[in-house]
Structure 1
Amino acid sequence: MFNPEVPYDIPALPINGIETIEVLKKVTPAARSLTALNQVARLFTNQNLLVNLIPILESKSSSEIENIVTTTDALFQHDSDTSNADSATKEALRYKTWF
């Protein structure tokens, strides 16, 4: 029976089968990519900017699926104040609040 006061005992992940040659061959390129991203992020004076860009760009892509088309410039211009934004931009920025 479920008891919210008692933490769930998560079983350990199986170690056998994870360290395969295929996985290990992908670790080095992934580590290089993460290092490159880390170096680029250090160039930003405000590193939160990089993280805050993702929902805006995702909202643009998601809205395009539904044929709601706006520009990236319009999304950034009206991100904090949508009073003067066109309807497509307002709708795309609504997607951002769902993340």
Structure 2
Amino acid sequence: MLEGISQTAQQTIDLIGQIRELMQHTKHRMRDECPKIYRQELLNNLFNHPYTKIEFVMEDLAVSRITATKYLDELASIGLLDKTKVGRSNFYINTPLMALFLERA
């Protein structure tokens, strides 16, 4: 039983390390490719869940709907997010983060 706990703990530590690396990579790309919109709060929003929405960015960054849409569309245009329409809402999927979670499933 302790071996199972140890393996799970190690897998979790590895996953956290991979998430940190991905976050750093994303941060550098945001700073290099879209410096006008880079904010730490926006980066954090992208990694709170494997997807985000305009409403989440509006709330987390205290910006207007137009600004939140601009930020997310710009990140999608450089390939950091995948924009998917579901019904009347747009979801912006952090595909690399989603892939990390799906590898573990």
TM above 0.5, yes or no, is no
- The higher-RCO structure (CA 8 Å, 6+ apart) is 2
User: TM-score, with normalisation over the residues of structure 1?
Assistant: 0.35
More helix by share: 2
Structure (1/2) with the larger strand percentage: 2
Q: Which has the larger radius of gyration?
A: 1
